[in-house]
Amino acid sequence: MTETVGFIGLGAMGLGIAANLVKGGHEVVGFDTSPERRTLAAERGIALAADAGEVIGKATSTVFSAVRTTQQTLDLLRGLELDRPLTIVVLSTLDPGSMRKLADELAEHQVVALDATMTGGAWGADAGTLAFMVSCPDEVFARVRPMLELAGEQIFHVGDHVGTAQATKLAVQLAWGINMLGALEALRFAQRYGVSEDQLMTILSRSVGASWASENWERIKPWWQVHEPGGDLEIILKDLRSALRDADENEAFMPMTAMTFQLLRHVWDGPDSAEQPGRA
Protein backbone atom coordinates (compact mmCIF):
# COMPACT_ATOMS: atom_id res chain seq x y z
CA MET A 1 0.00 0.00 0.00
CA THR A 2 1.37 3.41 -0.93
CA GLU A 3 1.13 6.49 1.25
CA THR A 4 2.44 10.00 1.53
CA VAL A 5 5.81 9.63 3.20
CA GLY A 6 7.54 12.49 4.97
CA PHE A 7 11.30 12.95 4.54
CA ILE A 8 13.44 15.44 6.46
CA GLY A 9 17.05 15.72 5.30
CA LEU A 10 17.76 15.33 1.58
CA GLY A 11 21.54 15.14 1.69
CA ALA A 12 23.86 12.62 0.09
CA MET A 13 22.04 9.65 1.61
CA GLY A 14 18.55 11.01 2.17
CA LEU A 15 17.94 12.18 -1.38
CA GLY A 16 18.67 8.78 -2.90
CA ILE A 17 16.43 6.99 -0.41
CA ALA A 18 13.59 9.46 -0.89
CA ALA A 19 13.88 9.18 -4.67
CA ASN A 20 13.64 5.39 -4.45
CA LEU A 21 10.47 5.72 -2.37
CA VAL A 22 9.04 7.82 -5.20
CA LYS A 23 10.06 5.16 -7.72
CA GLY A 24 8.28 2.62 -5.54
CA GLY A 25 4.98 4.46 -5.93
CA HIS A 26 4.87 6.60 -2.80
CA GLU A 27 4.27 10.31 -2.77
CA VAL A 28 7.16 11.83 -0.85
CA VAL A 29 7.03 15.27 0.71
CA GLY A 30 10.46 16.43 1.80
CA PHE A 31 12.43 19.28 3.30
CA ASP A 32 16.08 20.27 3.45
CA THR A 33 17.66 23.53 4.54
CA SER A 34 19.88 23.62 1.42
CA PRO A 35 18.36 25.31 -1.66
CA GLU A 36 20.60 23.16 -3.85
CA ARG A 37 19.33 19.93 -2.29
CA ARG A 38 15.72 21.11 -2.61
CA THR A 39 16.26 21.74 -6.32
CA LEU A 40 17.75 18.27 -6.80
CA ALA A 41 14.86 16.75 -4.85
CA ALA A 42 12.25 18.44 -7.00
CA GLU A 43 14.00 17.11 -10.11
CA ARG A 44 13.60 13.60 -8.74
CA GLY A 45 9.89 13.85 -8.08
CA ILE A 46 9.87 14.81 -4.41
CA ALA A 47 7.23 17.35 -3.37
CA LEU A 48 8.86 20.15 -1.39
CA ALA A 49 7.66 21.40 1.99
CA ALA A 50 8.40 24.84 3.39
CA ASP A 51 9.76 23.40 6.63
CA ALA A 52 9.94 20.23 8.72
CA GLY A 53 6.60 21.02 10.36
CA GLU A 54 4.86 20.91 6.99
CA VAL A 55 6.42 17.52 6.33
CA ILE A 56 4.94 16.23 9.58
CA GLY A 57 1.54 17.66 8.72
CA LYS A 58 1.37 16.14 5.23
CA ALA A 59 2.76 12.68 5.98
CA THR A 60 0.15 9.93 6.21
CA SER A 61 1.80 8.01 9.04
CA THR A 62 5.55 7.66 8.41
CA VAL A 63 8.36 10.22 8.45
CA PHE A 64 12.04 9.56 7.75
CA SER A 65 14.69 11.70 9.43
CA ALA A 66 18.11 11.79 7.75
CA VAL A 67 19.88 14.84 9.17
CA ARG A 68 23.60 14.67 9.81
CA THR A 69 24.47 14.68 13.51
CA THR A 70 23.10 13.54 16.84
CA GLN A 71 22.47 17.10 18.00
CA GLN A 72 20.72 18.06 14.76
CA THR A 73 18.48 15.02 15.09
CA LEU A 74 17.62 15.78 18.72
CA ASP A 75 16.98 19.47 18.05
CA LEU A 76 14.84 18.69 15.01
CA LEU A 77 12.59 16.03 16.51
CA ARG A 78 12.26 17.69 19.90
CA GLY A 79 11.29 20.93 18.20
CA LEU A 80 8.40 19.55 16.17
CA GLU A 81 4.76 19.85 17.17
CA LEU A 82 3.70 16.23 17.35
CA ASP A 83 0.05 15.71 18.20
CA ARG A 84 -1.02 12.54 16.39
CA PRO A 85 0.17 8.94 15.97
CA LEU A 86 3.22 8.76 13.72
CA THR A 87 6.14 6.48 13.03
CA ILE A 88 9.47 8.29 12.74
CA VAL A 89 12.32 6.35 11.18
CA VAL A 90 15.68 7.75 12.29
CA LEU A 91 18.24 7.02 9.59
CA SER A 92 21.00 9.13 11.15
CA THR A 93 23.76 7.53 13.20
CA LEU A 94 23.49 8.51 16.88
CA ASP A 95 24.89 7.00 20.02
CA PRO A 96 22.56 4.28 21.40
CA GLY A 97 21.80 6.14 24.63
CA SER A 98 20.63 9.28 22.83
CA MET A 99 18.44 7.22 20.52
CA ARG A 100 16.74 5.44 23.39
CA LYS A 101 16.14 8.65 25.30
CA LEU A 102 14.70 10.31 22.19
CA ALA A 103 12.36 7.37 21.56
CA ASP A 104 11.07 7.59 25.14
CA GLU A 105 10.42 11.31 24.77
CA LEU A 106 8.59 10.93 21.46
CA ALA A 107 6.45 8.11 22.83
CA GLU A 108 4.85 10.68 25.13
CA HIS A 109 3.53 12.40 21.96
CA GLN A 110 2.00 9.27 20.35
CA VAL A 111 5.08 8.83 18.17
CA VAL A 112 6.85 5.53 17.63
CA ALA A 113 10.52 6.16 16.92
CA LEU A 114 12.85 3.51 15.57
CA ASP A 115 16.38 3.50 14.27
CA ALA A 116 17.15 2.21 10.78
CA THR A 117 20.83 2.87 10.38
CA MET A 118 22.39 2.22 7.00
CA THR A 119 25.59 1.42 5.21
CA GLY A 120 26.50 1.42 1.53
CA GLY A 121 27.37 5.03 0.76
CA ALA A 122 25.65 7.69 -1.33
CA TRP A 123 26.14 5.53 -4.42
CA GLY A 124 24.17 2.76 -2.70
CA ALA A 125 21.42 5.18 -1.69
CA ASP A 126 21.00 6.21 -5.32
CA ALA A 127 21.12 2.64 -6.62
CA GLY A 128 18.81 1.24 -3.95
CA THR A 129 21.46 -1.22 -2.74
CA LEU A 130 21.90 -0.10 0.88
CA ALA A 131 21.98 -2.40 3.87
CA PHE A 132 19.72 -1.31 6.74
CA MET A 133 20.05 -2.29 10.38
CA VAL A 134 16.73 -1.83 12.17
CA SER A 135 15.76 -2.09 15.83
CA CYS A 136 12.12 -1.96 16.90
CA PRO A 137 9.32 -4.37 17.90
CA ASP A 138 8.26 -6.93 15.29
CA GLU A 139 4.97 -5.22 14.43
CA VAL A 140 6.71 -1.91 13.72
CA PHE A 141 9.37 -3.64 11.64
CA ALA A 142 6.65 -5.29 9.54
CA ARG A 143 5.17 -1.84 8.76
CA VAL A 144 8.39 -0.14 7.68
CA ARG A 145 10.20 -3.01 5.98
CA PRO A 146 8.43 -2.65 2.59
CA MET A 147 9.60 0.98 2.39
CA LEU A 148 13.15 0.11 3.37
CA GLU A 149 13.22 -2.61 0.72
CA LEU A 150 12.70 0.08 -1.93
CA ALA A 151 16.06 1.59 -0.95
CA GLY A 152 18.03 -1.40 0.26
CA GLU A 153 18.99 -4.91 -0.76
CA GLN A 154 19.57 -6.20 2.75
CA ILE A 155 17.36 -5.43 5.73
CA PHE A 156 18.58 -6.69 9.11
CA HIS A 157 16.24 -6.69 12.12
CA VAL A 158 18.92 -6.57 14.81
CA GLY A 159 16.74 -6.29 17.90
CA ASP A 160 13.45 -5.29 19.49
CA HIS A 161 14.89 -2.45 21.56
CA VAL A 162 15.53 0.94 19.99
CA GLY A 163 19.21 1.86 20.01
CA THR A 164 20.44 -1.60 19.05
CA ALA A 165 20.68 -0.58 15.39
CA GLN A 166 22.77 2.42 16.41
CA ALA A 167 25.21 0.15 18.24
CA THR A 168 25.36 -2.13 15.20
CA LYS A 169 26.10 0.75 12.82
CA LEU A 170 28.83 2.10 15.10
CA ALA A 171 30.38 -1.37 15.17
CA VAL A 172 30.40 -1.37 11.35
CA GLN A 173 31.97 2.08 11.24
CA LEU A 174 34.74 1.33 13.70
CA ALA A 175 35.63 -1.88 11.82
CA TRP A 176 35.62 0.08 8.56
CA GLY A 177 37.85 2.81 9.94
CA ILE A 178 40.34 0.29 11.30
CA ASN A 179 40.36 -1.60 7.98
CA MET A 180 40.93 1.59 5.98
CA LEU A 181 43.91 2.58 8.08
CA GLY A 182 45.27 -0.95 7.81
CA ALA A 183 45.10 -0.82 4.02
CA LEU A 184 46.65 2.66 3.94
CA GLU A 185 49.52 1.68 6.23
CA ALA A 186 50.15 -1.50 4.22
CA LEU A 187 50.27 0.59 1.05
CA ARG A 188 52.73 3.09 2.46
CA PHE A 189 54.99 0.28 3.66
CA ALA A 190 54.94 -1.59 0.33
CA GLN A 191 55.46 1.53 -1.76
CA ARG A 192 58.83 2.09 -0.08
CA TYR A 193 59.97 -1.09 -1.82
CA GLY A 194 58.52 -0.23 -5.21
CA VAL A 195 55.26 -2.21 -5.05
CA SER A 196 52.59 -0.46 -7.10
CA GLU A 197 49.36 0.65 -5.51
CA ASP A 198 47.15 -1.24 -7.97
CA GLN A 199 49.09 -4.46 -7.58
CA LEU A 200 49.08 -4.35 -3.79
CA MET A 201 45.34 -3.71 -3.61
CA THR A 202 44.74 -6.62 -5.99
CA ILE A 203 46.89 -8.88 -3.82
CA LEU A 204 45.24 -7.71 -0.59
CA SER A 205 41.80 -8.34 -2.05
CA ARG A 206 42.76 -11.93 -2.87
CA SER A 207 44.45 -12.73 0.41
CA VAL A 208 43.95 -12.67 4.15
CA GLY A 209 44.39 -8.88 3.89
CA ALA A 210 41.06 -8.52 2.07
CA SER A 211 38.59 -5.89 3.26
CA TRP A 212 35.99 -3.59 1.74
CA ALA A 213 38.66 -0.89 1.79
CA SER A 214 41.15 -2.86 -0.30
CA GLU A 215 38.47 -4.00 -2.74
CA ASN A 216 37.15 -0.45 -3.24
CA TRP A 217 40.39 1.50 -2.94
CA GLU A 218 39.81 3.64 -6.04
CA ARG A 219 36.56 4.84 -4.51
CA ILE A 220 38.03 5.87 -1.17
CA LYS A 221 41.53 6.87 -2.33
CA PRO A 222 40.56 10.55 -2.86
CA TRP A 223 39.61 10.79 0.81
CA TRP A 224 43.28 10.64 1.78
CA GLN A 225 44.39 13.13 -0.87
CA VAL A 226 42.08 16.09 -0.32
CA HIS A 227 40.45 17.28 2.87
CA GLU A 228 36.80 17.76 1.98
CA PRO A 229 35.03 19.53 4.86
CA GLY A 230 31.94 17.56 5.76
CA GLY A 231 33.02 14.66 3.55
CA ASP A 232 32.97 10.92 4.10
CA LEU A 233 35.95 10.75 6.41
CA GLU A 234 34.42 13.38 8.67
CA ILE A 235 31.27 11.27 8.85
CA ILE A 236 33.36 8.33 10.03
CA LEU A 237 35.03 10.57 12.61
CA LYS A 238 31.61 11.67 13.84
CA ASP A 239 30.54 8.06 14.27
CA LEU A 240 33.77 6.99 15.96
CA ARG A 241 33.34 9.91 18.36
CA SER A 242 29.87 8.57 19.23
CA ALA A 243 31.25 5.08 19.76
CA LEU A 244 33.98 6.38 22.05
CA ARG A 245 31.48 8.47 24.01
CA ASP A 246 29.36 5.37 24.57
CA ALA A 247 32.47 3.34 25.50
CA ASP A 248 33.43 5.98 28.06
CA GLU A 249 29.97 5.97 29.62
CA ASN A 250 29.98 2.17 29.83
CA GLU A 251 33.69 1.77 30.68
CA ALA A 252 34.23 -0.38 27.60
CA PHE A 253 37.81 -1.13 26.46
CA MET A 254 38.18 -0.01 22.81
CA PRO A 255 41.85 0.85 22.19
CA MET A 256 41.79 0.22 18.42
CA THR A 257 38.84 2.57 17.98
CA ALA A 258 40.52 5.26 20.06
CA MET A 259 43.76 5.02 18.07
CA THR A 260 41.92 4.96 14.73
CA PHE A 261 39.98 8.06 15.72
CA GLN A 262 43.16 9.96 16.58
CA LEU A 263 44.95 8.90 13.39
CA LEU A 264 42.01 9.82 11.17
CA ARG A 265 41.84 13.26 12.76
CA HIS A 266 45.36 14.01 11.48
CA VAL A 267 45.39 12.20 8.17
CA TRP A 268 45.44 15.50 6.24
CA ASP A 269 48.30 17.17 8.11
CA GLY A 270 50.32 17.90 5.01
CA PRO A 271 51.60 16.69 1.64
CA ASP A 272 54.57 14.96 3.27
CA SER A 273 52.49 12.88 5.69
CA ALA A 274 52.78 9.80 3.44
CA GLU A 275 56.54 9.91 3.90
CA GLN A 276 56.37 9.65 7.66
CA PRO A 277 56.48 5.99 8.82
CA GLY A 278 54.51 6.58 11.95
CA ARG A 279 51.72 8.55 10.35
CA ALA A 280 48.49 7.35 8.78
Residue-wise pLDDT for 140-161, tens only, equals 999 999 999 999 999 999 999 9
**132 membership: H or E segment, kind and range:** strand 130-135
**What residue spans of 134-231 are helical by DSSP H?**
138-149, 164-191, 197-205, 212-215, 217-225
Per-residue pLDDT band for 43 (boundaries 50, 70, 90) equals very high
Exposure string of 141-152, with b = 16+ CB inside 10 Å and e = fewer, is beebeebbebbb
Residue type, 126: D
Q: pLDDT averaged over the chain?
A: 91
**237 membership: H or E segment, kind and range:** helix 232-250
By the 8 A CB rule, do 11 and 69 touch?
Answer: no
DSSP string, 5-30: EEEE--STTHHHHHHHHHHTT-EEEE
Q: Specify the range with the lowest mean pLDDT, choosing from 7-11, 181-185, 194-198.
A: 181-185
- What pLDDT digit, counting tens, does each position of 202-242 carry? 999 999 999 999 999 998 888 777 767 777 788 888 899 88
pLDDT, residue 140, reads 98
Distance CA 25, CA 239 (A): 33
225/20: higher pLDDT: 20
pLDDT, residue 1, reads 64
By the 8 A CB rule, do 59 and 9 touch?
Answer: no
Q: What domains, with CATH codes, occur in the chain?
A: 4-161 (3.40.50.720), 167-275 (1.10.1040.10)
Stretch 266-270: mean pLDDT: 59
- What pLDDT digit, counting tens, does each position of 63-108 carry? 999 998 889 999 999 999 998 999 999 999 999 999 999 999 999 9
